[in-house]
């Protein structure tokens, strides 16, 4: 149902933006086909970064537990492709921290090992900014979704990063 509604929305976006899209060549896909790899389409060159090894995966496993790391290519696909299906990365690892301390430990390790990362929350951005281009590690913020404080007088809340407004 949600997918069908999103498709209708994207079709409307395409129609409304058709005059500009013609020149820019950007089109929000509503099909189930995978988009071309971003690195191929834009002829991009991978930076001088390390590649994820088994030892790295063991480190993240010991830090987060196996249920908070994803290495299954089928499961990773939705993290590699953006919501409007305009870009596709080739990440082979998704990690899901639950706290600031875990984010910090992940970043310290990746910095030391020179592993590239890509932060991702809802993956609902419309410009492909939340998807890897090559094999960056996706740091998914999906589990950091708590409301930390609500101030009714000031009518505002303090939330963790990946919070949805109902």
Ligand X SMILES: Cc1cc2nc3c(=O)[nH]c(=O)nc-3n(C[C@H](O)[C@H](O)[C@H](O)COP(=O)(O)OP(=O)(O)OC[C@H]3O[C@@H](n4cnc5c(N)ncnc54)[C@H](O)[C@@H]3O)c2cc1C
Q: Which of residues 78-137 bind ligand X (CB under 6 A)?
A: 83, 118-126, 129-130
Nearest to 96 by CA among 3, 17, 11, 162: 162
Label residue 36 left, alpha or beta by phi (over 0 means left) and psi (-120 to 50 means alpha): beta
Cβ proximity to ligand X: between 53 and 156 the closer is 156
Which tokens go with 51?
């590649």
Is 52 or 117 the residue whose CB approaches ligand X more closely? 117
**Smallest distance, Å, CB 46 to ligand X?**
18
Two structure tokens written together for 9: 């929305």
Nearest distance, CB of residue 112 and ligand X, angstroms: 20
CB of 100 to ligand X, least distance (A): 10
CA distance 59 to 63: 6
Interacting residues toward ligand X by CB under 6 A: 9, 83, 118-126, 129-130, 141, 161-162
């Amino acid at each position: 149902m949600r997918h069908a509604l999103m498709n209708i929305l994207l079709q409307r976006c395409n129609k409304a933006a058709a005059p500009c899209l013609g020149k820019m060549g950007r089109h929000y896909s509503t099909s189930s086909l995978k988009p071309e790899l971003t690195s191929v389409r834009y002829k991009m060159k991978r930076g001088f970064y390390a590649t994820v090894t088994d030892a790295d995966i063991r480190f993240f496993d010991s830090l987060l537990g196996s249920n908070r790391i994803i290495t299954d290519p089928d499961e990773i696909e939705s993290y590699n492709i953006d919501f409007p299906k305009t870009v596709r990365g080739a990440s082979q690892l998704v990690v899901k921290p639950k706290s600031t301390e875990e984010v910090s430990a992940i970043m310290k390790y990746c910095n030391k090992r020179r592993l590239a990362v890509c932060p991702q929350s809802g993956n609902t951005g419309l410009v492909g900014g939340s998807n890897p281009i090559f094999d960056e590690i996706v740091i998914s913020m999906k589990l950091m979704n708590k409301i930390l404080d609500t101030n009714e007088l000031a009518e505002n809340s303090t939330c963790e990063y990946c919070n949805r407004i109902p």
